[in-house]
Structure 1
Amino acid sequence: MSNKLFTEGRWQEAIAQYQKLLEIQSGDVDIYWNLSHCYRQLNLLDEYFNTLQQGIKLYPTDERLHFSLIIDLRQNGRIQEAIFSADNAAICFPDDYTFQLLKYLTVPSIYENREEINFYRQRYTQGLQDLIQQTSLQTTKEQHSALAGIGRLTNFYLSYQAQNDIDLQRQYGNLVHEIMAINYPQWVVPISMPKLQPNNKIRIGYVSYYLHSYSGTLWLTGWLRFCDRSSFEIYCYYIGNQPDPITQQFQQYSDFFHHIPDNLSAVSEQIIADKLHILVFPEIGMNPQTMQMAGLRLAPVQCTAWGHPVTTGLPTIDYFLSSELMEPENAQEHYSEKLIRLPNIGVSYPKPYIPPVIKTRSDFQLPDDAVIYLCCQAPFKYLPQYDFIFAEIAHRVPQAKFVFLRGTLLQPRLKLAFAAIGLNSEDYCVFLSIPERLDYLMINLLSDVYLDTFTWSGGNTTLEAIACNLPIVTCPGEFMRGRHSDSFLKMLGVTDTISKNETEYIEIAVKLGLDPTWRGTIAERMSQNHERLFDDKACVAGLEAFYKQVCSKHFSA
C-alpha cells in the first residue's frame, strides 16, 4: 500500500503508511529511501534529513542515503552538517572516490559572511592538494571508482567565491584528465586535422547535456540558425534526456543530430567516427559527464564557451570562446585555454517571446503602490558583503519590495543586514515560488526595477528582463562572469543604469524607484533598441572566421 501510494505521487498518504510500517518494524532500507523522498517532495526538510540519518544509522552501507544527505545539506545552506556527513561517509566507504571528492572539496552553496569565503577557499585549496596526493590509480578497481566519482560531481560552487580560479581549476582539470586518460587511453592521444577536400565543409560538433530549454545553452540556437551552410556541417550530440521544443530546434538546425543519453563510451565513439575538425562544449562545469568527456581528446581542436563562464583548467580544451564586450583587458590571466573574444556579446541570443500582461500584482500578493525590485538570481550568486545594499535602498525608498524567486536561503542574512540600520527585513523582502514560465515573465512585466547581482551577473535572466523592458541596475565585476549585464546594456545602447561601484549602484536603484518618469524613459529606450542586442549575426561571422582560421593553421602545419 505504501509503495503504491509512493509511485502514484500521493506523498502525504504514503508518509502515513510508511510511518505505520516503521512503528511495527525497523523496515528495510528502501522504506527510509522512499519516505525521505516523500518529505523532499513536500519540502519538509527537517523530516527529510532526519529520515536519511535514521536510515544511515540502521544501514550505514547504503551509499544512496549518504550521497543525498551530503548534497542536500549543502544545497540548503547546512554546510557544517554536510562536511560532517561527508567525513562519515568517507569512513564508511574508504574505497569510494565519490566520498573522497565530497570529503575534500565540499564548499558552501551560500556564505554567512565574508570571512567564511576565505576560510572555505583555504579549506578547498588544501583539500584539493590532499585529494591529488591520495588519489591512487594503480588498480582497475581504483581507476573505475575514480571515474565513477568524477561522473557524479563537479566543483561547480567553487567559482561563486568571486576570485581568480585558474590555478585551482588547472589542478582539478589535470586530475580529471589523468583519471580519464587511465580509463580511456585510446581517447587522449592527439588527433590530426582531417584533410579538407575541394567542396568539403568544415565539420563542427556541439556536445551538451543541455540541448533543451536551458539558460546555459539557449543562445547556441543562434550560432546554429545563422550558420554559413556553404562552409560548415553541423553535428549536435545531446547527452541529456529532457527533450522539449528547443531540442527540436537543435535537431532542425543540425546536419546530423545524435541523441545518446547517459552513455559516455557510445557518444565518444560517435564523435570520433564523425571525424570532426572542431568540437565545442557550450558549457563545462555543470554536468559531470560533460566534464569527463571534455577531459578526453575527441577532436583535433576542442573549445568551450561561456554557458558556464569559468575556465575549465582542462589540458584538453584549447580555446575559450568569449565576448569582446564582456572581457576585461587582462582577461587571459583568468583562463587556462587560449581566450577568443568574439564580436559583441559573443552569442546570438534569440529574442524571447514576451506575452501580454494578463495578471496583476494582486495575483502574486504584491501591493499596487510598492516599488518592486526584482531579485531573481539563484541564492549562491548573492555574496554576503553586498547584503547591505538592499537595506540602504529600502532606507531611501520606503515603498520598496524586494522580490526573491529562488527560495528563502537568504532570509537570515537579510534579516541581519536590515536590522543593522534599524529596519525589519520582513517589511521589504518577499519570497515567492514561481514554478511556471508564464508567471515568471509576468513578475518581470509587473516589476519596476531589476537588481543585478555583483561578481556574477545575470545572463539569461537579464536578457529576458531586457525583453520585458525592465530597467537593469548593474555593476561590472573583475571577471567576465560579473560583466554579462554590463555588456548587454552597452550593446543595447542604454548605459545610464550601469554603476561604477556600490555607492553609485544604490543611487541609481533609488532614483529609478523614486522617479517613475526617468524609469519610463529608460524602459522606452530599451524597447526601441532590442534589434541591436537580439539575434546578432556579427558574432556568428566572427565565430566562423575563427573556425576557418584555426583549421587553416592546422592544414598548413
Structure 2
Amino acid sequence: MKQTNLSNRVEGAITDTLAVKYENINIIIFPDWLQSEESLILELEQVIKTVINHSDSNQITLLINTNGISEDDANLVLSIVAMNLLLTEDFDITVECEISLLGNLDELELRAIAPFLHGRIILQHENLEGLALFIIENVPAYKIENFHNIHLGQLVYDLSTRLFKEGKWIEAIAQYQKLLEIQSGDADIYYNLTYCYRQLNLLDEYFQTLQEGIKLYPQEGRLHFSLIIDLRRNGRIQEAILSAENAAKCLPDDYTFQILKYLTVPSIYENIEEINFYRQRYIQGLRNLIEQTSIKTTEDQHSALAGIGRLTNFYLSYQAQNDIDLQRQYGNLVHEIMATNYPQWVVPLSMPKLQPNQKIRIGYASHYLHSYSGTLWLTGWLRYCDRQNFEIYCYYTGNEPDPVTQQFQNYSDVFHHIPYNLSAACEQIIADKLHILVFPEIGMDAQTMQMAGLRLAPLQCVAWGHPVTTGLPTINYFLSSELMEPENAQEHYSEKLIRLPNIGVSYPKPYIPPVIKTRSDFGLENDAVIYLCCQAPFKYLPQYDFIFAEIARRLSEAKFVFLRGTLLEPRLKRAFAAVELNSEDYCVFLNIPERLDYLMINLLSDVYLDTFTWSGGNTTLEAIACNLPIITCPGEFMRGRHSDSFLKMLGVTDTIAENETEYIEIAVKLGLNPAWRDTIAERMSQNHDRLFDDKACVKGLEAFYKEVCSKYFTNQLHIL
C-alpha cells in the first residue's frame, strides 16, 4: 500500500509534493475513527472496493483524512482492511489502489490541498470535525453506490471549472491540460484555458492554445475573436489580419469578422510608412465593408447588429490625422444597421414641453460610470449642477460599480443601472422623456456606440471622454473646451462644436498620499533624472522616438520609465542605436502598478514627458496634482492639446514647447537644473485651485443646455 503523510511540511515543500502526486484524480474521505472498529473497517472496505472497481481506478488516489487518530493506528486499521480484501475479494490494494493518509495538517497545507480535490465520497459515519477543517464547500460529494458511474472526465471538468471560477489560474491550467489528455475536449475548455494563460500573461501558451482550439473548432467565433484582438494588442498586426481573414472564411455570415477583416489597424506602428500604408488599407477596407454589407434579411440585420456590438474602430484616430470623413462613413454605417434593427428608435423626437415648476431633464449614459479616466471628470458636472433648473438622470450600462459609481448615484436625481442590455437601456431612456441626452464618450465601448446611433432624445451630445468626432448623424453637438480647440476645429467634427469655458470639465482634485516609498522600491536609481512616460503604447508614434534618444545623448543620467509594458522596446532600441546608445541603459519598463504605486512613481519622478499628437488627459491631471513638471507640445487636433490646456489654465506655461526641438531643450534643461524643476513644481502647487473643480465650465454647459432647449420651445410655439 502506498501511503504518504503530509504533516509538518512548509508550504513550498507540500506544493512540490502535491504537484507530482496530483497528476492523479484525488478523492477524499473523512472516516469517523471513533465509531466501532467493525463498522469502521466495513466502511473503509466498501470505499476501497468502490475505487478499485472504478473503470479508471489506476488514475485515482484515495485521500483518507486521519484527523482524530494517530498515523500508526490508522495504518493498523488499513492493514486489517487490506488483509480482509485480499482474502475475500482477492484485491491486493498495495497494487490496485493508491492511498494517501492526510492528518494533522496546518492551514498552509490545507490550502495547498484544497485546489486539487476532485471529489469526496460520502460515508455513513463521517468525522465532522475533520470535514470542518477543510475548505470543501464546492467539492462535489458522491454517494458510495454512485461513484463508479462518475466518468473521470467529469471529475476533472468539475474541478477545473471550480478553480477557474475561483481565479486559481495555475491550478486550473493543470486540470484543463489533464482534461485534454483524457478526452478531446470542447470549445469551452480551450476558451477557459486560454483565459487562464492570458491572466498569467503567458502569451506564447495563450496564442498556441487559441490556434489549437480554432483548428479543432473553426466555427467557434470567440476563439477567433480573442486571437485577432490580442494579436493586434501585442503588436502582431500581420498575424492579426491573417487571422481575421481566416475567421471571415470560417464564419462568412458573422459580420464581426467582416469588420475585423477590413478595418483592423495596428495598435502600434513600427515606422511612419506603416501609418500611411494601414490608413490606405483602412480607407479601402471601409469602402469594401460598406459595399458588401447586406441588411436585407433578418439574419443579416442581427449579424450586423452583433458585429458592431463587439468592437469599435478605436485605434484609427491614433494615426494623428483628420478622421472626419472616415468617421462619417463608419457612423452612417452604424446608424443604418441600428435603424434596420430598431426602426422605432430612429425617428425624430419632439422636445417635451416644460410645464410650470418642471426642470430640464438631462441624461448621461455610459458604460463607464465608475473609476475610469474617460468619465471621472463627469462627477464635477453633476456635483455643481444647478438643481433649481435641471434634473439629472444617469444610465450606467457597465457592471463594475465602485465608490465613484456611488458618487454618480448620489449626484443623480434618477440613477439606472442597466448592465449589458441594449434594449432595456434604450427603453428606459425613451420612457424618461429627456430633453437632452449626453454620452460622456463614444468610441471606446461598442454598446454605447450602438445607443448613440439611435434617436433616444430630441437633442444628443457627446463629450470628450474619447476626444474624436463620432461621425454619427444622430449626435447633434460635441461638447469640447475653448482652451483645447484650434481655430479651425469645426473642420474636425461632424457634430456642431461647442467650446465650453476653460478645459470644459470640472475635474475633481485627486487625493495624493504622502511619499511612503523610495525609488529603490521600483528598482530606480536615486541619482537618475527620472522622465515619466506613462501613456498607453498606442499614443507613441514612431516619428517621435528619436526624442528620447536625443535627451539621453545630452543627459547621461536620464532614465525613461514606461508603465505599460514592453511593446515599444524594439523601436526604442533602434532609435537609441541611431545615436550610438544602448536603450537598455536608459529605458525602464514596469508593469502597470496599483494606484498607490502609480502615484508614488509620479511623486518620485522628476519630469513628465507628454506624448505628441494625443496627449495625456487623466494622467496629466494626476501628474499636476503631484506637482510633477510636464513637458508638452500641442498638436493639430484637440486630442493632442489636453496637457497644453491644463498648463495654460494652471498658469504654468514655461514647459509648453512649440516644436520638437524646443521640447528636447526644455526636457534637458529640466533634467540639468533641479532648482528650475523645484520652481515649476512650486508654482504648480500654488495654482491647483485654478484647474481643479472648475465651476465656470459647468455654468457654461448649463447655459448651452438652456439655450438649445429654449430654441426648441420657441420653435414649437411658432408651429402652434
Task: Indicate the TM-score class for this superposition, using the shorter chain for normalisation.
Answer: over 0.9
Write the deviation string for residues 255-310 of structure 1: whole angstroms up to 9, x where unpaired.
10011111111111111111111100010000000000000001110000000000
Question: Match for 2:594 among 430, 433, 436?
Answer: 436
Could you say which residue in structure 1 is the equivalent of 2:543? 385
How far the C-alpha of 1:34 sits from its partner, in A, is 1.9
Alignment correspondent of 2:650: 492
* 1:341 lines up with 2:503 in the alignment: no
Structure 2 CA distance for aligned equivalents of residues 281 and 26 of structure 1: 47
Equivalent in the alignment of 1:31: 189
Equivalent residues in 2 for 1:357-376 (5 A)?
357-376=515-534
Could you tell me which residue of structure 2 aligns to residue 129 of structure 1? 287
Task: Output the amino acid matched with 1:349.
Answer: Y
2:327 is the alignment partner of 1:169: yes
Q: Does 1:297 align with 2:455?
A: yes
Q: Distance in 2 between matches of 1:219 and 1:8?
A: 34
In structure 2, the residue matched to 1:250 is 408
Is 1:9 aligned with 2:188? no
1:55 Cα deviation from its structure 2 partner: 0.8
Say which SS state the counterpart of residue 502 (structure 2) adopts. Answer: coil
Report matched runs for 1:30-429 at 5 Å.
Answer: 30-429=188-587
Matching residue's letter, 2:521: D
- What is the CA–CA distance in structure 1 between the aligned matches of 2:627 and 2:451, rounded to whole Å? 40
Partner of 2:13: none
Give the AA of the match of 1:340: I
Q: Which residue identity is paired with 1:522?
A: I
What is the correspondence of 1:497-508 to structure 2 with a 5 Å cutoff?
497-508=655-666
CA–CA separation in structure 2 for the residues paired with 1:316 and 1:21: 50
Correspondence for 2:640 among 462, 468, 482: 482
375-384 or 23-32, which deviates more: 23-32
Which residue in the other structure is 2:704 paired with? 546
Which fold has the larger relative contact order, with Cα–Cα distance below 8 Å and residues 6 or more apart in sequence?
1
Q: Over residues 501-551 of structure 1, what are the superposed CA-to-partner deviations in whole Å (9 max), with x where a residue is unaligned?
A: 000000000000010000000000000000000000100010011000000
2:690 to 518, 529, 532: 532
Q: Distance in 1 between matches of 2:685 and 2:483?
A: 21
SS in structure 2 opposite 1:341?
Answer: strand
- Aligned partner of 1:467 among 625, 639, 654: 625
Aligned residue for 1:68, secondary structure, equals helix
SS in 2 for 1:275: coil
Report how far residue 7 of structure 1 moved: 3.0
- Secondary structure of 2:363's counterpart equals strand
Deviation for aligned residue 1:365: 0.8
Q: Distance in 2 between matches of 1:419 and 1:24?
A: 51
One-letter amino acid of the counterpart of residue 206, structure 2: Y
Structure 1 regions of 5+ residues with no counterpart? none
Q: Distance in 1 between matches of 2:168 and 2:446?
A: 32
What are the superposed Cα offsets for residues 16-66 of structure 1, whole Å, 9 maximum, x if unpaired? 333334345433222222221121111110110000001111111111111
Q: Which amino acid aligns with 2:702?
A: E
Output the amino acid matched with 1:303: C
The 3-state SS of whatever aligns with 2:531 is strand
Shift of 1:450: 0.1
| SS state at 1:555 partner | helix
CA distance in 2, matches of 1:433, 1:79: 22
Question: Structure 1, residues 372-394: CA drift from partner, whole Å, max 9, x if none?
Answer: 00000000000000000000001
Write the letter of the residue equivalent to 2:185: G
Quick check: 2:384–2:698 contact (8 Å CA) kept in 1?
yes
Q: Which amino acid aligns with 1:148?
A: A
Aligned mates of 2:188, 2:445 — CA distance in 1: 27
d(CA) in 2 for partners of 1:11, 1:29: 18
Deviation at 1:199, TM superposition (A): 1.9
Q: Following the alignment from structure 1 to structure 2, what is the Cα–Cα distance between the partners of residues 237 and 408?
A: 37
- Identity percentage of aligned residues: 87
How many residues get paired? 557
For residues 315 and 121 of structure 1, the distance between their equivalents in structure 2, rounded to whole angstroms, comes to: 23
Displacement of 1:233: 0.5
Partners of 1:236 and 1:264 in 2: CA distance: 15
Return the letter of the residue paired with 1:337. Answer: E
Q: Specify the SS of the correspondent of 1:430.
A: strand
**Greater gyration radius:** 2
**TM-score w.r.t. length of structure 1:** 0.99
| Structure-1 separation of matches of 2:684 and 2:435 | 40
Q: Which 5+ residue runs of structure 2 have no aligned equivalent?
A: 1-158, 716-720
Structure 1 stretches of 4+ with a deviation exceeding 6 A read none
Tell which deviates more after alignment, 448-457 or 189-198: 189-198
After TM superposition, the structure 1 stretch with the greater mean CA deviation from structure 2, 404-413 or 34-43, is: 34-43
Instruction: Tell me the amino acid that sits aligned with residue 354 of structure 2.
Output: L
Contact 2:365–2:396 under 8 Å retained in 1: yes
- Whole-Å Cα distance in 2 between the matches of residues 435 and 358 of structure 1? 15
For 1:427 and 1:121, the matched residues in 2 are separated by 34
CA distance in 2 between partners of 1:225 and 1:22 (Å): 54
**Secondary structure of residue in 2 paired with 1:207:** strand
Shift of 1:3: 3.2
Aligned-partner Cα distance in 2 for 1:18–1:453: 43
Secondary structure of the structure 2 residue equivalent to 1:303: strand
Amino acid corresponding to residue 471 of structure 1 in structure 2: P
- The Cα of 1:83 is off from its aligned counterpart by 0.3
Aligned equivalents of 2:529, 2:438: Cα separation in 1: 43
Structure 2 CA distance, aligned partners of 1:546 and 1:291? 24
SS at match of 1:358: coil
* In structure 2, C-alpha distance between the alignment counterparts of 1:280 and 1:218, rounded to whole Å: 15
